[in-house]
A = this chain, B = another copy of it.
């Protein structure tokens, strides 16, 4: 396999079997202005009052026209409780359908069985935002012949619209669905909040099956995906494990290291001067990242600051900030916990947004492109501020691209928070195992041992120092940590075997993941 180096010195294979042209990453904004054709499914009219409802998975698959070699999609809004994907793949296997391309919005802990479908030839190729657990290991070991494509949330919207992911059949978990096919994630016993990713699939798939365990005889007034995008309504006993779908509200960490990091991240945001009326803001659901929201909230309340919008994967904590009037609007593409659902129903300004609205870099202006501040977690970073949220220190796939590179590129200030080491392994590396977010779009890194500001943000470093933050050169901090942990060994990769391509949001390839023993 021949490789070239992309703009940040990462290897990109020139040709990948089963792919179109591979575009090496050339910088975060290279493809802006370029006209990219959009691919839409054909129309086909149905007779009036056609009954869309079926109760049999195999029958729904047969009616969908799904065949071996086609592409199926799913959403991951049901979190770790999702049973839809595996039930459908089981039924495909029973029907003798093989070599599928699996294109879910992401894979969660609920999808461990996917490794079995890979082994048995039901799934031949995967496009996803994340991979974890057994599936990550199976892919890292090279069990899939064709490399997995890792996309960001915005990148997936783009890929679907430009046709590099062409969904033949979308099987979309629909917590409440009426007989005409209108469905929502805000109601029903498997309610999960926003269905932003499902909305994207429904608009571009050739055939859409709404999978529900709560069929409404009345037409719905709260609609995430309208009937006219839905071919079939498949009624099943259950969409999955309700305890894992209805996860509790994400709580603020009590870990003192995370809290120290969060507090310093907040002070850095203050130092940036952005924390004023009209500020827009996104944080993740993770430890230090979500904890930043606590400091932001206290500050906004105390100073009477009113923000413009919060966005992203939304936690109950952000919903609470909306209800307290700290934001005008929440733009919600994915609800991280079940407490968000109630807020969406109560608050007209808690808005469900689709994946393109959230982060597609090639539309006329997505939400993340208007962000002031984003706080992001990371597995590791390097001295060029490149961020890895995908592979562990052993080189094994165990993370997700998510909205990481989308928000970093779109925001005015992107702050990455992480402990300086984990389990004796340092988080700041000469070169990260895998780049998901390019350093050019990262403004600062906050650890419990100090803050590193990207050298291109001279003013920010200056204000951070004036704020009393401990600002360190990133190489200096790296060496400081390595004095404690030692310099970790390089991962032994099998460079003859590509197991994943990491796409940047614009569809170019920012990094390549190779086979490792695991």
Residue A40 at the B interface, CB < 8 A? yes
Smallest CB gap from A157: residue in B? B228
Q: Which of B180, B278, B363 contacts A45 (CB 8 A)?
A: B363
- A residues 354-371 in Cβ contact with B at 8 Å: 354, 356-357, 360-367, 369-370
Q: When each residue 18-44 of chain A gets 1 if its CB lies under 8 Å from chain B and 0 otherwise, what string results?
A: 000000000001011111111111111
A35 and B40 form a contact (CB under 8 A): no
B158 and A43 form a contact (CB under 8 A): yes
Q: Which of B33, B46, B350, B370 contacts A365 (CB 8 A)?
A: B46
CA distance A276 to B508 in the complex (A): 58
- A residues 307-348 in Cβ contact with B at 8 Å: 308-309, 328-329, 331, 345, 347-348
Q: A32-B47, A45-B33 are in contact. Are A366 and B308 (CB under 8 A)?
A: no
Q: A48-B409, A180-B370, A364-B231 are in contact. Are A40 and B39 (CB under 8 A)?
A: yes
A226 and B32 form a contact (CB under 8 A): no
Smallest CB gap from A204: residue in B? B40
CA distance A31 to B228 in the complex (A): 17
CA distance A52 to B158 in the complex (A): 21
CA distance A347 to B222 in the complex (A): 10
A32 and B45 form a contact (CB under 8 A): yes
Q: Separation in Å of the A351 CB from the closest CB of chain B? A: 6
Q: A363-B43, A365-B181 are in contact. Are A220 and B329 (CB under 8 A)?
A: yes
Residue A410 at the B interface, CB < 8 A? yes
A228 and B363 form a contact (CB under 8 A): yes
B37 and A365 form a contact (CB under 8 A): no
Q: Which of B29, B41, B226, B351 contacts A38 (CB 8 A)?
A: B41
Residue A384 at the B interface, CB < 8 A? no
CA distance A328 to B216 in the complex (A): 12
A40 and B42 form a contact (CB under 8 A): no
Which residues of B have CB within 8 Å of A308?
218-219
B409 and A364 form a contact (CB under 8 A): no
CA distance A351 to B49 in the complex (A): 20
Q: Which of B31, B181, B361, B362 contacts A364 (CB 8 A)?
A: B181
B36 and A222 form a contact (CB under 8 A): no
Which residues of B have CB within 8 Å of A411?
48
B329 and A361 form a contact (CB under 8 A): no
Residue A221 at the B interface, CB < 8 A? yes
- A residues 293-310 in Cβ contact with B at 8 Å: 308-309
A45 and B506 form a contact (CB under 8 A): yes
A364 and B48 form a contact (CB under 8 A): no
Q: Separation in Å of the A75 CB from the closest CB of chain B? A: 18
Residue A353 at the B interface, CB < 8 A? yes
Residue A420 at the B interface, CB < 8 A? no
Which residues of B have CB within 8 Å of A280?
219
Residue A512 at the B interface, CB < 8 A? no
Residue A262 at the B interface, CB < 8 A? no
B36 and A43 form a contact (CB under 8 A): yes
Which residues of B have CB within 8 Å of A33?
44-46
Q: Separation in Å of the A158 CB from the closest CB of chain B? A: 7
Smallest CB gap from A322: residue in B? B221
Which residues of B have CB within 8 Å of A218?
278, 308, 328-329
B45 and A351 form a contact (CB under 8 A): no
CA distance A219 to B506 in the complex (A): 26
B365 and A230 form a contact (CB under 8 A): yes
Which residues of B have CB within 8 Å of A52?
365
- A residues 203-231 in Cβ contact with B at 8 Å: 208, 217-223, 226-231
Q: Separation in Å of the A303 CB from the closest CB of chain B? A: 18
B50 and A365 form a contact (CB under 8 A): yes
A43-B362, A221-B350 given. 14 additional CB < 8 A pairs? A36-B42, A39-B40, A40-B40, A44-B364, A45-B363, A46-B369, A49-B370, A221-B348, A226-B353, A227-B364, A227-B365, A228-B366, A231-B364, A345-B348
Residues of A in contact with B (beta carbons under 8 Å apart): 29, 31-50, 52, 158, 161-162, 180-181, 208, 217-223, 226-231, 278, 280, 308-309, 328-329, 331, 345, 347-351, 353-354, 356-357, 360-367, 369-370, 409-412, 506
Q: Could you show 24 A-B contacts with beta carbons less than 8 Å apart? A: A33-B45, A35-B44, A36-B44, A38-B42, A38-B43, A43-B158, A43-B162, A43-B363, A45-B363, A46-B364, A46-B365, A48-B370, A49-B370, A219-B280, A219-B328, A220-B329, A221-B351, A226-B353, A227-B365, A227-B366, A227-B367, A228-B366, A230-B365, A345-B348
